[in-house]
Amino acid sequence: MSIHLQRITVRFEYPVYFTRDAFDAGNTDLVDALAWREPTRRHRALVVIDGGVASAWPSLSRDVVRYFDAHSGRLQLAAEPLVLDGGEAVKNDPAVANALQNRLHDVALDRHSFVVVIGGGAILDMAGYVAATVHRGIRVVRMPTSVLAQADSGVGVKNGINAFGKKNFVGTFAPPFAVVNDGRFLETLSRRDKIGGIAEAVKVALIRDAAFFGWLSEHAELLAACDADELQALVRRTAELHLAHIATAGDPFELGSARPLDFGHWAAHKLESLTKNRLRHGEAVAIGVALDTIYSAAAGLCDRGTAESVLGVLHRVGLRPWDEALTWTAPDGRFLVLDGLNEFREHLGGDLTITLLREVGKALEVHEMREDLVRHAIEQLRRHESASIGPR
């Protein structure tokens, strides 16, 4: 018998542009994003647009066509831009992904062509999954349009759709070809979604960057007022922290069991499913982060002052660290949200590994969570909610 150990190393690189007015003919960032590997070729692309973005920017499809015309020596549209509904529904209904596969087949995109996706995190995840599996991987240029997507999901390496009531049950790890973050898009995002995206900034600041948490605290009121410059600064720093983690933490495709960027997410994902997406991802993350922070204090891992300041910042930026779904129970009295722990373990594989808080800027990992302390943390959040209803 003999064994051959096969070793393959693949290097991934993708530029992330921070720009404004990407479809102005004079702005060449998108051309560069498509052409950076092969500058002399003419590149063919299908552009997919989030319906929410298309409604907010009625001339967008025309602007895209005009942009491709203005750069016709280097770019070519495979078809008219395709507008699909946005929001979590595109991840919940497999027919949407199937229809997009059909479309890629119809326009005969090959593996050197591009899908350019303009939209929120949900459509980026869905279209990214479709593109990653058609021909085993078509190139994707992401143009995230929400705070959450520009700061987190759009610059990362994952995609996916939901199935069997579970978030991201079907999906792949597939780094994008390039990312173009156009700050102008954020102008039309609803206040609800602007604030929701801030939750991922609080999350990554807590586990990685105490100074950034301090900045979030100092700027909380301006952020709550959706000040454009403040949100832009938040997006930039949050994206940098996510990018740095993916590049340097040693496990970009999450082959191990630890997943620090998913701090607060075991509960968040469960709350999204339990509420049938009444809670948006960012809103659920704010609750999950609050829950795991209070748990950390209750378990003696961080001090109570830390937990207080986390709740304070969430509250001041306009996030509500509470939802009734936290208290929904199974017939045997068990809190349904606790099922999120097992689902999280299953999604990661291996041992349950939950990221908790040691202090602001420093995380630690545990391999079990005590049910009584989770209940205690939920009770604390309920009290905090009752106490804060007055001044709201």
Ligand X SMILES: NC(=O)c1ccc[n+]([C@@H]2O[C@H](COP(=O)([O-])OP(=O)(O)OC[C@H]3O[C@@H](n4cnc5c(N)ncnc54)[C@H](O)[C@@H]3O)[C@@H](O)[C@H]2O)c1
Residues forming contacts to ligand X in the complex (CB under 6 A) are: 50, 52-53, 56, 86-88, 91, 119-123, 125, 145-146, 148-149, 152-153, 156, 158-159, 185, 188-189, 193, 196-197, 280-282
Give the residue with the Cβ less far from ligand X, 256 or 305.
256
Give the residue with the Cβ less far from ligand X, 185 or 263.
185
CB of 158 to ligand X, least distance (A): 4
Rounded Cα distance, 351 and 346, in Å: 9
Give the residue with the Cβ less far from ligand X, 145 or 306.
145
Query: Any idea which residue has 């491709």 for tokens?
Result: 68
Give the residue with the Cβ less far from ligand X, 209 or 262.
262
Element (H, E) at 207: helix 191-208
CB of 308 to ligand X, least distance (A): 27
CB of 314 to ligand X, least distance (A): 16
CB of 196 to ligand X, least distance (A): 6
Which residue lies nearest ligand X, judged by its C-beta? 52
Give the residue with the Cβ less far from ligand X, 149 or 235.
149
Rounded Cα distance, 181 and 235, in Å: 9
CB of 214 to ligand X, least distance (A): 24
Give the residue with the Cβ less far from ligand X, 152 or 230.
152
Give the residue with the Cβ less far from ligand X, 146 or 353.
146
Give the residue with the Cβ less far from ligand X, 81 or 156.
156
CB of 360 to ligand X, least distance (A): 22
CB of 99 to ligand X, least distance (A): 17
Give the residue with the Cβ less far from ligand X, 72 or 188.
188
Count of C-beta atoms within a 10 Å radius of residue 232? 17
Pair 107, 113: CB distance under 8 Å: no
CB of 167 to ligand X, least distance (A): 6
Pair 199, 271: CB distance under 8 Å: no
Amino acid at 293: T
φ/ψ of residue 335, rounded to 5: -65, 125
Pair 271, 357: CB distance under 8 Å: no
Residue 225, CB-side half-sphere exposure with 13 Å CA sphere = 6
DSSP string, 296-354: HHHTTSS-HHHHHHHHHHHHHTT-----GGGG-B-TTS-BGGGHHHHHHHHHH-SS--E
DSSP string, 245-279: HHHHSS-TT--SS--GGGTTHHHHHHHHHHTTTSS
Pair 266, 344: CB distance under 8 Å: yes
Considering Cα of 271, then 310, then 357, then 373, what sign does the dihedral take?
negative
Considering Cα of 78, then 83, then 88, then 91, what sign does the dihedral take?
negative
CB of 33 to ligand X, least distance (A): 18
CB of 270 to ligand X, least distance (A): 13
Residue from 235, 252, 219 nearest 185 by CA: 235
Give the residue with the Cβ less far from ligand X, 156 or 321.
156
